Structure 1
Amino acid sequence: MTGKKRTKRVFRFAVSLLLAIVFCLVSLPVGAQEDLKPQILVDQALITLNNFVAAADMEWFTKHLKDAKGVFIVPQLLKAGFIFGGSGGRGVVLLRDEKTGRWGEPAFYSIGSVSFGLQIGGESSEVVMQIRTQGGVESLYGSSFKLGGDTSIALGPVGAGAAGKGVTADLVSFSRAQGAFAGLALDGSVIKVNDDFNKDYYGKEVRPTDILVKKDVSNPGAARLREGLYKAAGGK
């Protein structure tokens, strides 16, 4: 094995290890994530949705909710670093029924990423991704997928009157940090099914397709979030 190949293998192993650590940290009850339960996450997702819908800068976001295939709402994406950096958070995915305009039950996912280079400090952001294509929807059916790989992602247009012409990505992301709406690069992040939260919320082991496609399970605790999305997308 040449030195170059060995270096590449070590680098890939380091990235995989750091990403695993990020997902482990997301699962730990620390800091603002303390005692975070599935229902609390659903309730927080509604607060995040309302924050976005009420903002004048989110005109494009609100206007295009009615033709989005789904949303991935992450109420708190934590980012921290010192030389090596990472970000992680938990969120919920809901899909919109194109015939009725109604939104389905939430499926729980985690998101994480690692980065390299000089970076010191931390930040917390609210993130909402609109799922714009069928390919974006189908990427959710597996156990995990990487943004920017087979599933494309773009920063959403921000600002009153933002046109957003030519947005063709599978997912379009919007973020809010310290009260300000801005772009947050998520390329390279991995989205992974949160099986523990799904099982806890629905009382049995379920796959993403059981929730999002077959609609085999339900929880009345998601009613306010589902109704909030329906009204935000123009439902009466």
Structure 2
Amino acid sequence: MSEDVWEAGDAYEAYVGRWSRKVAAEFVGWLDVPAGRRWLDAGCGTGALTSAALRTGPARVVGVDPSRGFLRTAPVEAHRVAGDAAALPLGDASFDVVVSGLALNFVPRPGAAVAEFARVAAPGATVAAYVWDYATGMQMMRLFWDAAAEVDPAAAGRDEGRRFPICHEPALRAAWAAAGLTEVATRSIEVPTVFAGFDDFWQPFLGGQGAAPSYLATLGQHEQHAIRELLRARAPASADGTIALTAAAWAVRGRR
């Protein structure tokens, strides 16, 4: 099985980063954190959530990610650190807000990461995250994996909807409670994902960044063509060629 690839920031932005930024803005609004707080963005990637945190007027924002390529793309206003969300290179009780966007499911042991979030959170701190609702809510990926499985049955093993049990509301609640966090709340965040045309929809899958593009890169031209044409037939294009879909994420928050 091929590994997911997370290195080229520009390709990731074209794929899902642009949609993550919309979710991040609503997520940070939901947290309603006052200005002047110390933030940690664990698994910061290219900085969608970091950017939203910076707009709150924080005292400091630290972004941690294992991908140095992504860190180079993250906002320079944040202090950027290479590291693992399940073994944060940071001191105990160092932050007033610990957040993670679209990263928790890619940690081999999500529970260990949430325990680390709680460890570095100061007493009373907010600890929160969001993940895509891969099973039903992330329409662009659902269309892709359903088409891919018809062309290549082995694609089912790469489908994020099956691979990531943490990307469900009950699992997030359970992980936050297991880490000793209190006042746990969850919500769904849905944003529009409107593509200018089929090329705008398809091209990001060729960028090699993320689970679906990484998988697609392992296929021959015949299989790629077959998946593309299935998607072309199924994508709900309007009369002007635009493809209007939605993307949903599950968000969770708690208090240290």
TM-score for the superposition, normalised by structure 1: 0.27
Q: Greater strand share, 1 or 2? A: 1
- The TM-score, its normalising length taken from structure 2, stands at 0.26
